[in-house]
Amino acid sequence: MHGAGVQTALKFIHTSMNKFLLILARALDYRIGITDADKPDLPVLRREEALVAFLVKLLIVAVNFITCGFVIASVIRHW
């Protein structure tokens, strides 16, 4: 058996991972359910978590635009 401190640390890690996965699911518009039987829906986040989800989505879009710019520049350069 684990000690009380180790169990608390494991519970914190598990809770933090669940929060991270909920934020990531919201940022990627991935619908999830609490159980396998319920209808999946977008998770409802607190304001701070929603801001993190927004920043993740903004980063994804920014990387896509930057990549597209490099591809277009390469095509123009090698025309």
Q: Structure pTM?
A: 0.65
pLDDT score at 56 = 92
Helix (H, G, I), strand (E, B), or coil: what is residue 63? helix
Q: Is the pLDDT of residue 76 over 80?
A: yes
| Domain ranges, ordered by start, for the chain | 4-77
Q: Where is pLDDT greater, at 64 or 6?
A: 64
pLDDT, tens digit (0-9, with 9 covering 90-100), for 2-51: 566 656 655 665 677 788 888 888 888 887 766 667 777 777 788 888 88
CA dist., res. 33 & res. 78, Å (int): 49
pLDDT confidence of 1, banded at 50, 70, 90?
Answer: very low
